[in-house]
Amino acid sequence: MSEVGDSGLSVYERLIGEDRVSGRLYTDPAVFEREMERIHHRGWMFVGHESEVAEPGEFVTRRLGRQPVLLTRDDTGVVRLWSNRCPHRGATVCALDQGQTRFFRCPYHAWTFDNAGALVALPGEEGFGPTFDRDMHGLAPVPRMDTYRGFVFGSWSHEGQTLLEHLGDARNLIDRACDVSPVGEISLRAGWLRHRIGANWKMAAENVCDFYHPPITHGSSGLMGGVPPGYFSDAYGGLTRDLGGGHGEVDYRHTEGGSQTGLGPHGFIFPNLFIEASSIFVIQPVSVGEMTHLQTPITWVGLPEEMQRPQSRRFAMAFGAAGVIEPDDAATWERMQLGLQAGEPEWVMLERGVQFDDTREGRALDEIVMRGFWRHYRSLMTDKAAVR
């Protein structure tokens, strides 16, 4: 299978059709390696939220693609994003998921960095000679970091689209998530549930705007009782919308039951962020057949408790490794990962509502957002200008 990654760019043109994609895209390790290089280690990815490091000295550790990063707020209040790697010999400078500190000290030789990344102390500095320059040995910043309404994104590439260019029409999803709050602000401080799933990351990405599956996959959850009859049907009137750039959403605002599944939007921001009404999900690739699905509930700043509480109750019931929704998605994706080991038939089909692709907006159950995802994916995987 490894020839997929080696045999030239046109291979991806063949593997990704307009209404179908090859099953090999979910199972071939060479495809995964190329995704990491072309998508996760080049483009913009969601990494966290400013509210997670609300106080000076607060930090969280994450992975950006496969690489360990450290999100900090320094003593002067500036949010910064670092490689979680000592510039001396490479150990992680922070082993905790989150906390608050003024200094990060490497366990190996005690090189010590302040929360603005500067090397402020090291034992036996004189032994490095008179030319040793502390300023040349601070923590390495992730090449690009930018924020949009508190959502922090990072990119390992020094150049390319700006964050606003990357977000494009998907900015509207973040706006709507924030504007549920009377002051336009969300907070993510409840901690994350981190669910390890034996399936390719793209299955979670495609699932975000798949409104064909909920009554089947989640029929056992007991939560379907809260959804209006016929909600997951074309006739109900919900829409699905390809927002370009691999982003997309499902939109029920104009329907009778529009507000019943949560307060915020339901959409996907390429390649790793899912805003699910009142929760945030992050899709973290691990290997071709493994991902971690991170999940946290949104708190809207200034919104009365009684409006937030039903949403956080729903989160507690539904999500995480022991929820009543999430395990059924995970089990389904794990079954797909197993099934796709069969090389025949070659294709995974994504043809529902293909007649609406011109307008990029279809019925709620249509697979328009998936096709938009794959068009963008194909452009990144085949972009000749992006070859270094």
Partner 1 sequence: MSGIEELLEQQRVEQLLFLEAQLIDGRRFAEWEALWVADGIYWVPANGDDTDPRRQVSLIYDNRSRMHNRVERYAGGKAISQQPPPRTVHLVSNVTIKPPESDEVVGGDVSLIVHSAVHVAESRPGVRVDWAGRVIHHLVERQGALQIVFKKVMLVDNDQELTTIDFLL
Contact between 78 and partner 1 per CB under 8 A? no
Compute the least distance from the CB of residue 327 to partner 1, in Å. 4
Query: How many degrees, rounded to 5, is the angle at CA 51 between CA 49 and CA 54?
Result: 130
Q: Which of 74, 185, 276, 328 binds partner 1 (CB under 8 A)?
A: 328
Phi then psi dihedrals of residue 168, to 5 deg = 50, -130
Compute the least distance from the CB of residue 234 to partner 1, in Å. 23
- Among the candidate windows 44-52, 144-152, 157-165, 319-327, which touches partner 1 by CB under 8 A? 319-327
Contact between 27 and partner 1 per CB under 8 A? no
Q: In Å, how far are 66, 93, 219, 259 from 121, measured between CA atoms?
A: 29, 14, 58, 54
- Among the candidate windows 64-72, 146-154, 242-250, 321-329, which touches partner 1 by CB under 8 A? 321-329
d(CA 297, CA 279): 4
Per-state percent for the chain, helix, strand, coil, to nearest 5? 30, 25, 45
Compute the least distance from the CB of residue 195 to partner 1, in Å. 7
Residue 210 is given by DSSP the state -
Choice between 172 and 332, CB closer to partner 1: 332
Q: Which of 275, 303, 330, 369 binds partner 1 (CB under 8 A)?
A: 330
- Among the candidate windows 79-87, 149-157, 159-167, 328-336, which touches partner 1 by CB under 8 A? 328-336
Contact between 285 and partner 1 per CB under 8 A? no
Phi then psi dihedrals of residue 377, to 5 deg = -55, -45
d(CA 82, CA 193): 23
Contact between 322 and partner 1 per CB under 8 A? yes
Compute the least distance from the CB of residue 82 to partner 1, in Å. 22
Q: Which of 128, 338, 341, 349 binds partner 1 (CB under 8 A)?
A: 338
Cβ-based neighbour number of residue 74 at 10 Å? 18
Asked if residue 82 lies in contact with residue 74, where contact means CB atoms within 8 angstroms, the answer is no
Of the CA atoms within 13 Å of residue 79, those in its CB half-sphere come to 21
- Can you read off the two tokens belonging to residue 172? 């509207």
193-212 residues near partner 1, rule: CB under 8 A: 193-198
The residues, ordered by sequence, that sit 6+ positions from 29 with a Cβ below 8 Å of its Cβ are 1, 2, 287, 288
Compute the least distance from the CB of residue 326 to partner 1, in Å. 8
Q: Can you give the binding site for partner 1, defined by CB under 8 A?
A: 97, 190-198, 217, 219-222, 292, 295-297, 315-317, 320-322, 324, 326-328, 330-332, 335, 338
